[in-house]
Amino acid sequence: MGAERSVKCRRDSSRNEMSLLPHVPVMADEVVEFFAGGPNEGLLVDGTGGAGGHLEMLCKALPGMSFLAVDRDPAAVSILRSRFIDNPEVTVRQGSYTEIPDIMNEMGLLKASAAFFDLGLSSIQLDEPLRGFSYRFEGPLDMRYDDSSGKTAAELLNRMSEKDIADIIYKYGEEGRSRRIAKAIVTNRPVRTTLELAAIINGSVKGSSFKVLSRVFQALRIAVNEELDQLNMLIDNLDSWTDAGARIAFITFHSIEDRRIKLLFRDDPAYRQHSPKWIIPCEDEIKENSRARSARLRMGIRI
């Protein structure tokens, strides 16, 4: 990464009001500036609508466009629907971003002139104990964005082999003590709740810190939601539903995701890398919103 050219964000103090919202959009000014420099008519797809923070700013900055917001989580979709109920330019649909071509087809939309993805989970999901994403609150070990399908984190942990658990923790959590943690999980099965899992992790790693807990919980969330497979599926057909000249941006929070986007814009002939190659949040933003800490914005143009 060191050889790449990057730019740290400029901070607009008028964004301070954002910190009053339950989910603060990351690098919102930079995202808006990127899209405002591109087509200002046609369709902008927000493939990870979340609480609609970025979307609301994009709607204000690009009054000539229409917007499609998609989210896999039915709870996020309810928030989006009520937030944009008075805006006829915004359509909200529940589904994975891998289903965007089908959703656009159903709506009779051919191509998008802009696409935005803010990967991972929102603070609203993290802070809801019943979703099971956080080691800070007692809750069922669920972690599914869409609780109508797929296996919960508890089901995965209670069924998988010790080796597979260790591999997930190592690969998706980048945690070196993965084998020791996996062994403790298997010894203490069944694991049913977030705090049971947190206690097992703390008991297995000497001097365990919040960092270890975060890494293991992140790894499980990525595995439960098959996030890397989803991202690969999205990228594999992104060129089929984006128009020539479309601006495309991703905010990533994980090095594997970030590398995938870097290679997409650098090596795939269907895209041109936008300059700067990437942007990270400035210190002021990280102070106001610690979630922004590991974020990286990458931008490309569809050729």
Ligand X SMILES: C[S@@+](CC[C@H](N)C(=O)[O-])C[C@H]1O[C@@H](n2cnc3c(N)ncnc32)[C@H](O)[C@@H]1O
Residues at the site binding ligand X, with contacts judged by CB under 6 A: 23, 25, 47-48, 50-54, 70-73, 76, 96-97, 118, 120-122, 145, 230
By beta-carbon proximity to ligand X, the closer residue of 39 and 52 is: 52
Amino acid at 197: L
Q: Whole-angstrom Cα distance, residue 98 to residue 267?
A: 21
Closest-by-Cβ residue to ligand X is 50
Closer Cβ to ligand X, 195 or 233, answer by number: 233
SS3 of 262, please? Answer: helix
Looking up tokens 């997930």, which residue turns up?
168
Tokens of 53: 């923070």
Number of H-type helices and E-type strands within the chain:
13, 8
Nearer CB in complex with ligand X: 23/277: 23
C-alpha to C-alpha distance for 54 and 165, rounded to whole angstroms: 35
Find the distance separating the first CA and the last CA of the chain, reported in whole Å: 25
d(CA 3, CA 207): 35
Residue 182 or 253 having the CB closest to ligand X: 253
Which CB sits closer to ligand X, 124 or 195? 124
Q: How far is the CB of 254 from ligand X (least distance, A)?
A: 12
Report in angstroms how near the CB of residue 208 gets to ligand X at its nearest: 27
Give the nearest distance from C-beta 43 to ligand X in angstroms. 17
Q: Is 73 helix (H, G, I), strand (E, B) or coil?
A: coil
Amino acid type, 261: I
Rounded to a whole number of angstroms, the minimum distance from the CB of residue 195 to ligand X is 23
Smallest distance, ligand X to C-beta of residue 231, A: 8
209 three-class SS? coil
Residue 25 or 39 with smaller CB distance to ligand X: 25
Residue 11 Cβ, how far from ligand X at the closest point, in Å? 17
Phi-psi region of 120 (alpha: psi -120 to 50; beta: other; left: phi over 0): left
